Amino acid sequence: MKELSCGRKHYVVLNKENKLMVWGNVFKEKAVAETNGFGLYYGDSLFEGHKIRELSMKYSIFGALVDN
């Protein structure tokens, strides 16, 4: 695990491979896979190939700082 961000009824875990494990409705895209209630998302496809540097979440609002 590289980073954990949580909001109200939402959790996002970022690993070193730029993959996100998400619990709650954070993205409108469908998860690639689901494990233990967490949806798997590839950060590369969500952010056009950019590496996620930092996550932020307040209530149900998600933000990510990505490298260009």
Neighbouring-strand partners of residue 65 = 54
pLDDT tens for the chain, residues 1 to 68: 899 998 888 899 999 999 999 999 888 899 999 999 999 999 999 999 999 999 998 887 889 999 98
Question: Where on the phi/psi map is residue 45: left (φ > 0), alpha (ψ -120 to 50), or beta?
Answer: alpha
CB 19 within 8 A of CB 44: no
Q: Which of 56, 68, 57, 55 is nearest to 14 (CA)?
A: 55
Q: Take residue 4 and report the two structure tokens written for it.
A: 């954990």
Show the domain range for 9. Answer: 3-66
Number of folded domains in the chain? 1
